[in-house]
Structure 1
Amino acid sequence: MENPVEDYPRKSWRRTALGVLLGCLVAAVVLLFVLGRDGEPTDASAEAGFARDMAVHHSQAVQMSFITRDGSADDKLRVLTYDIIITQTAQRGMFMGWLQQWELNQAGGQPPMAWMAGHGHGGGTPATGAGTSAAMPGMASEDELERLRQATGKDKEVLFLQLMIRHHEGGVQMAEALLNLSERDEVVTMARHIVNTQSGEIKLMTDMLRQRGAQPLPSILE
């Protein structure tokens, strides 16, 4: 017959061991959800959300650059638009390549910017203020895009620079949020590159605006 007093430590140890085992299983499930079975980002990961949303963000930058390049005779501005077109088109291809490598759809099940919730943006809710679109920071509205198409000469150049500065600010905001959420090498390296290059272009475009007697729109980073 078992002695209840002697048997208590054994039962306590079993309960502790069972608790540790269950804790390990829960941690493994969470890790599997976050990282995927083979260590790749999952559909709901920050990496996948960043790749999808930044691809959309880049697409609009390329669109605005084509509109302005084809309507401006200023060589320096045309060089800037060409650089944005080439750089962001190439980066967008990398984002799509990552999703394919991770075996994820280009369109995920999460709302736009949901991955960035709590890191400088609401995530999944419509953005507020002038010139925002589809919850993505810095995006131009359809009305602003139409104004850019219709503008000519100096007015077109000024509007482009104003919209693109704000657009770059949004890109920097998204990239900095990713740096707080991910340690995946290729994604972190790209995010740092975006922060550095677009911050430099913001300074360049601000100078170009001043040369035209104009100022940037209110910063979305303040």
Structure 2
Amino acid sequence: MKLLIGDKNYSSWSMRPWLLFKHFGIAFDEILIHLDQPGTNAAVLAHAPKGPGKIPCLIDDTGLAIWDSLAIAETLAERFPQHALWPRDPAARAHARSVSAEMHSGFGELRSHMWMNIRASFPGKNATPGVLADIARIEAIWRDCLDTYGGPFLFGEFTIADAMYAPVVMRFNTWQPALSETSSAYMRRVMAVPAVKAWIDDAFSETHAVAYLDECR
């Protein structure tokens, strides 16, 4: 299988499925396509001509293209049932799907004002009322999951839900909003996961830059 991803410094959507492949030891070939380039869309379509030209995109061993981070995560969970990508317990699995879908479709203020840039540092910036409301909701999700399932991750062991929120951890590390100790401790645990550390290391070794994402606006 091949996974098309964007720059590790910026591509929050790419980070999610990549972490799942790495954490669960699922073999794949990584194809990195730089973001915000004139040929970005064409490069994606060259590998997956039947898709929308967006990344991340998984191309399986039959040539089928699966795009969108949550769709890729569900595909991996379906094809590799020996790994607990979702919690085994049905009630916990439904809960994990709910908070993952909420992350997937929501938190527009946070996405717009606190984008992912692992190499940057914008402490205290862009903390608009809308962003603070999003952060409060994320902290409530994290606290509820950790209290309910006992940690160290949202549903005990690292699952798709943690991969879905890993880019939020990257954002919080860059923008440094005020957070509870519960949230800060969860962030430290996520950043210590070997797959997450590998992604961060790769982000710092990249040289391609996207100017508008490197400036706090």
TM-score, structure 1 normalization = 0.27
Q: Highest Rg: 1 or 2?
A: 1
Q: Which has the higher contact order (CA 8 A, sep 6+)?
A: 2
Higher helix share: 1
TM-score, structure 2 normalization = 0.28
